[in-house]
Amino acid sequence: MSIFTPIFQTFFKDHMGVDLYMEPNFEDYSCQFNFGVPPPPIDTDKALKEPCLDICTNARRRRELGSSGGPDGLCPQV
């Protein structure tokens, strides 16, 4: 989910002129689209600091290999 969020938010702002904050719900895997609300800066966005979901095949493979992801421990796809 997180890898697409900045792309969609940027698209809406740059091409449609509308702020969009996509707020994920990690309990039910849904996403609330908040139009007219600017997204938080990437370095403070709590959603991007969440660990990978257990259902993510990449996360499962990294756990098997003993790797925590990127250099900061976050998903390397973000």
The per-residue pLDDT for range 49-74, each reduced to its tens digit, is 777 766 777 766 766 777 655 555 55
Residues 6+ apart with CB under 8 A from 36: 18, 19
CA quadruple 59, 63, 67, 72: dihedral, nearest 10: 50
Question: Regarding beta strands 20-25 and 30-35, do their DSSP bridges make them parallel or antiparallel, or are they unpaired?
Answer: antiparallel
Structure tokens at 38: 């600017």
pLDDT digits (tens, 9 = 90+) for 12-24: 999 999 999 998 8
Instruction: For residues 27 and 36, give the distance between their C-alpha atoms in angstroms, rounded to a whole number.
Output: 25
